[in-house]
């Protein structure tokens, strides 16, 4: 059992959990993820690590309350526990002085990007950050990100704050030279970023979170086509060369269980939390 | 004419195993084989000739004294009979169910020359089930040695090592990467062949021996092996991480929706209990027409699970002929009785998807058998121009697994073969001092019992190593 030390609502339906997990905290590095199981009947959900504190023995992660599991997770309070957490999983990010790095984050992945930006900045990079969300209400960590970035751009899908969409990057990329781009967020966003950086041949690393079951190399459901080769998101990734990823296939694979996910969430809504109480 | 010696009457036919009828069992996940009653067990045991030089024992990878336990069973001394088995095998309820006895002990049985061999596995199962029903007695343990052993992986090899070393007085901690113990016994072998409650009971027994189980620890990530030895106070490590990574065919269209590795399919169904979705959160999508690629036990397990999940037609698609199928004969027969259709000498060449990226057809090519290959089996050769299309909406690829690479990648100095398996001698010694390995991680994909045999030998070697160390 893993005790929840802190719960923070960062934006509507976006929560941050700090959890006591000393063995994971000691080992975690930027770019890695954990598998969370809320109870005996729960699924194994991969979530990117957004922070760790070895001294305190804690890790933090941020999630969007969209499906049954994440909504159940969102109901847990400080002092309550999560049934099982396995990690850290996946390969850590490559962190060194690349020079000038463009970091693009969207949605809940803004949280692990903050960790990444901090590590890149400490390694001596000049970090230009773009953070985006669907609407301005879903943006969080703006001040923290600004403090760590050489420059911060904000974008929303509807233009309610900052730029509308990512098209503004065309100009930025035309004017400035970047040595590396790191992108974390929804797959369509990653795809767009890669389209934008490709003409400038900027090495672009994307974090992929395909559907996973075990998350440690057993099931192969997280397979992605990278440069025509079959790779496993969990053991070969989660970071890949974005210019080689077959995003169209990835998007289709991520939607494989959409009907079941909807059914599961709907039944849960109708039947309450399933614990028999309340 | 000298009077001929009266011959003891040999019962040529084995007592058949009571089973759920095929038309019933293909709709449920309950155990197929129901087990002998006491009467049936006694009758079957009476067939044993009690050979003075028993051949059966030489066929057993863990050398159980088979005639001795059968004799005790015959005399109604069930407690002593199960003790006799447990001298050599800590997990008889499991082995009695999933061992390929027809290839091992029963193959050597002299009765096999005139009729059916003695059903040794069924008798083992009878005794193990009898013991479980009345509750385990915990054997006496040797006094504590003060030595600590880390066992990586709670599968057949790891559980065996842990039980043996705990009995010898060592402190044992098992690190299991998944959230439940049992390894392939829980994620791979389906409920209808090995009920999970039985695995649970065996694991509980091992816990009662004082073994600590840590679940959700992926060694290589949470801790590395050098850390376990240098920083975490362990005197020895045993690696029993099994055959993990699924193999794919490498043909076009393999990443379409509806195409599973057997590992994914079985993990969803067995470990995550997707057959009980949405009560359990992990879903599975099963179509009307399912093709399982491969001819081993895993393929049979997947095909029979697919039937139970409601598929209308389930095919086994195998590139060689029936004779070369690596699956147990009993499992092939079970699958056939339940209605699985065998498409032999057939190999997929590509998968065709619909506009949503879901598989809808599979192109196959017909094969014929050529001269034997290095495995001794006749090599399948494609027949030019024999391609044809099969309508399918689910495909399960069960063509084998390779070792999980995480430990090998994170343990410096650990010798590994070109196939990714860990190099170890017959007693499990690896290239690193104090580090032992056994089971599929050493041999490549094999059987539960051979992993347990490797665990037995490694436990002995680890014990010697620990006791010789100051």
pLDDT in tens, A114-169: 999 999 999 999 999 999 999 999 999 999 999 999 999 999 999 999 999 999 99
Cross-chain Cβ contact A37/B356 below 8 Å = no
Residue B6 has pLDDT above 70, yes or no: no
Strands (E), chain A: 2-11, 14-20, 33-37, 45-53, 58-64, 81-82, 84-89, 100-106, 126-133, 151-156, 163-164, 180-184, 204-207, 223-226, 229-232, 239-241
Strands (E), B202-344: 212-215, 236-239, 243-246, 259-261, 289-293, 313-317, 341-343
- Of A74-83, A140-149, B130-139, the least confident: B130-139
Q: Which two tokens stand for residue B1?
A: 């004419």
- ipTM of model: 0.91
**pLDDT tens, residue by residue, B411-434:** 999 999 999 999 999 999 999 999
Residue B36 has pLDDT above 60, yes or no: yes
The residue-averaged pLDDT of A199-207 equals 97
**Quick one: pLDDT at residue B138?**
80
- Of A77-81, A193-197, B99-103, B163-167, the least confident: B99-103
Reported as a pLDDT band with limits 50, 70 and 90, residue B214 is very high
**Quick one: pLDDT at residue A278?**
38
* Selection from B289, B78, B335, B269 nearest residue A219 by Cα: B269
Q: Are strands A151-156 and A126-133 parallel, antiparallel or unpaired?
A: parallel
Reported as a pLDDT band with limits 50, 70 and 90, residue B7 is low
b/e B417-444 (16+ beta carbons within 10 angstroms → b): eeebbbebeebbbbebebbbbbbbbbbe
The residue-averaged pLDDT of B351-357 equals 94
Opening angle at CA B83, ends B77 and B87, nearest 5: 150
Does residue B62 or residue A58 have the better pLDDT? A58
| CA separation for the pair A48, A111 (Å, rounded) | 9
Interface of A with B in 32-71 (CB under 8 A): 35, 37, 41-44, 68-69
A-chain CB neighbours of B223 within 8 Å are 23, 27
Reported as a pLDDT band with limits 50, 70 and 90, residue A43 is very high
Contacts of residue B451, defined as CB under 8 A and 6 or more positions apart, other chains included, come to B155, B156, B157, B160, B240, B242, B438, B439, B440
Does residue B399 or residue B4 have the better pLDDT? B399
The residue-averaged pLDDT of A229-252 equals 94
**pLDDT tens, residue by residue, B141-172:** 899 999 999 999 999 999 999 999 999 999 99
A-chain CB neighbours of B250 within 8 Å are 230
Residue A273 has pLDDT above 60, yes or no: no
**Which residue of A217, A222, A254, A261 is the best one to mutate when testing the B interface, meaning the one whose CB has the most B CBs within 10 A?**
A217
The reply to whether A254 touches chain B by the CB within 8 Å rule is no
- Residue B308: count of CB within 10 angstroms of its CB: 22
Q: Which residue's structure tokens are 């002990």?
A: B105
The reply to whether A216 touches chain B by the CB within 8 Å rule is yes
* Selection from B436, B440, B435, B430 nearest residue B458 by Cα: B436
pTM higher than the cut 0.90: yes
Angle between helices B66-74 and B120-134 (to 10 degrees): 60
Angle between helices B156-167 and B196-208 (to 10 degrees): 30
**pLDDT tens, residue by residue, B215-272:** 999 999 999 999 999 999 999 999 999 988 899 999 999 999 999 999 999 999 999 9
Reported as a pLDDT band with limits 50, 70 and 90, residue A276 is very low
| CA separation for the pair B269, B283 (Å, rounded) | 9
- Of A254-263, B26-35, B71-80, the least confident: A254-263
Are A196 and A169 in contact, with CB atoms under 8 Å apart? yes
**Quick one: pLDDT at residue B5?**
57
Q: What percent of chain B has pLDDT over 70?
A: 98
Are B124 and B95 in contact, with CB atoms under 8 Å apart? yes
| CA separation for the pair A193, A206 (Å, rounded) | 9
**Quick one: pLDDT at residue A269?**
83
| CA separation for the pair B302, B285 (Å, rounded) | 13
**pLDDT tens, residue by residue, B46-104:** 999 999 999 999 999 888 999 999 999 999 999 999 999 998 888 899 999 999 899 89
**Quick one: pLDDT at residue B171?**
97
- Residue B107: count of CB within 10 angstroms of its CB: 14
Q: If you measure CA to CA, which chain B residue comes closest to A256?
A: B257
Scanning B279-328, the segments in alpha helix (DSSP H) are: 297-308
CA distance B37 to chain A (A): 34
């Amino acid at each position: 059992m893993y005790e929840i030390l802190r719960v923070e609502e960062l934006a509507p339906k976006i929560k941050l959990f700090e959890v006591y997990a000393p063995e994971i905290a000691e080992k975690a590095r930027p770019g890695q993820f954990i598998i969370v199981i809320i109870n005996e009947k729960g699924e194994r959900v991969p979530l990117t690590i957004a922070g760790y504190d070895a001294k305190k023995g804690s890790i933090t992660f941020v999630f969007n309350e969209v499906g049954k599991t994440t909504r159940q997770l969102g109901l847990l309070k400080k002092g309550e526990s999560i049934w099982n957490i396995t990690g850290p999983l996946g390969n850590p990010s490559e962190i060194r002085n690349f020079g000038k790095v463009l970091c693009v984050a969207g949605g809940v992945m803004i949280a692990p990007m903050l960790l990444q930006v901090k590590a890149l900045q400490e390694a001596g990079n000049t970090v230009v950050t773009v953070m985006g969300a669907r609407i301005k209400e879903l943006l969080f960590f703006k001040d923290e990100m600004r403090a760590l970035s050489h420059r911060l751009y904000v974008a929303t899908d509807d233009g309610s704050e900052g730029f509308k969409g990512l098209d503004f990057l065309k100009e930025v990329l035309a004017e400035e030279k970047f040595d590396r781009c790191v992108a974390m967020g929804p797959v369509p966003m990653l795809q767009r970023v890669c389209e934008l950086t490709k003409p400038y041949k900027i090495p672009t690393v994307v974090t992929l979170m395909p559907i996973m079951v075990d998350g440690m190399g057993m099931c192969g459901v997280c397979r992605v086509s990278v440069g025509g080769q079959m790779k496993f998101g969990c053991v070969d990734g989660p970071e890949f060369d974005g210019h080689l990823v077959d995003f169209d296939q990835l998007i289709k694979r991520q939607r494989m269980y959409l009907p079941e996910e909807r059914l599961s969430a709907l039944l849960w809504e109708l039947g309450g939390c399933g614990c028999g109480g309340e | 004419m000298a009077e001929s010696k009266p011959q003891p009457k040999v019962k040529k036919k084995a007592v058949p195993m009571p089973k759920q009828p095929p038309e019933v069992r293909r709709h449920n996940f309950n155990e197929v084989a129901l087990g002998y009653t006491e009467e049936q067990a006694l009758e079957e045991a009476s067939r044993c000739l009690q050979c003075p030089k028993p051949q059966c024992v030489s066929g057993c990878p863990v050398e159980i004294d088979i005639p001795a336990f059968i004799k005790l069973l015959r005399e109604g001394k069930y407690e002593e009979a199960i003790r006799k088995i447990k001298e050599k095998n800590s997990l008889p309820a499991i082995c009695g169910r999933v061992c390929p006895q027809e290839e091992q002990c029963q193959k050597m049985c002299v009765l096999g020359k005139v009729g059916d061999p003695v059903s040794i596995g069924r008798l083992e199962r009878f005794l193990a089930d009898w013991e479980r029903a009345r509750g385990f007695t915990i054997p006496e343990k040797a006094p504590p040695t003060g030595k600590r052993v880390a066992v990586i992986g709670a599968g057949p090899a790891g559980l065996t090592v842990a039980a043996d070393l705990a009995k010898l007085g060592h402190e044992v901690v098992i690190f299991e990467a998944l959230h439940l113990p049992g390894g392939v016994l829980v994620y791979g072998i389906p409920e209808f062949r090995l009920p999970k409650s039985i695995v649970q009971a065996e694991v509980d027994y091992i816990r009662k021996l004082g073994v600590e189980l840590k679940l959700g620890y992926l060694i290589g990530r949470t801790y590395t092996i050098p850390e376990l030895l240098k920083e975490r106070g362990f005197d020895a490590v045993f690696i029993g991480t099994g055959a993990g990574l699924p193999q794919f065919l490498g043909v076009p269209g393999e990443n379409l929706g509806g195409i599973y590795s057997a590992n994914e399919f079985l993990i969803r169904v067995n470990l995550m209990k997707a057959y009980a979705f949405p009560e359990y959160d992990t879903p599975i999508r099963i179509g009307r027409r399912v093709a399982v690629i491969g001819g081993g036990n895993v393929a049979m397990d997947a095909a029979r699970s697919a039937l139970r999940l409601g598929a209308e037609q389930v095919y086994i698609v195998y590139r060689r002929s029936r004779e070369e199928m690596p699956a147990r004969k009993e499992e092939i027969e079970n699958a056939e009785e339940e209605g699985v259709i065998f498409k032999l000498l057939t190999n997929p060449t590509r998968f065709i998807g619909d506009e949503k990226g879901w598989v809808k057809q599979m192109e196959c090519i017909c094969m014929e058998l050529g001269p034997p290959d290095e495995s001794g089996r006749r090599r399948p050769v494609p027949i030019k121009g024999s391609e044809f299309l099969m309508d399918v909406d689910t495909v399960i690829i069960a063509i084998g697994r390779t070792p999980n690479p995480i430990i090998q990648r994170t343990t410096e100095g650990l010798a590994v073969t070109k196939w990714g398996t860990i190099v170890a001698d017959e007693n499990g010694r690896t290239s690193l001092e104090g580090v032992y390995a056994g089971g599929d991680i050493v041999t490549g994909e094999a059987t539960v019992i051979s992993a347990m045999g490797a665990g037995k030998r490694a436990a002995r070697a680890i014990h010697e190593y620990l006791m010789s160390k100051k």
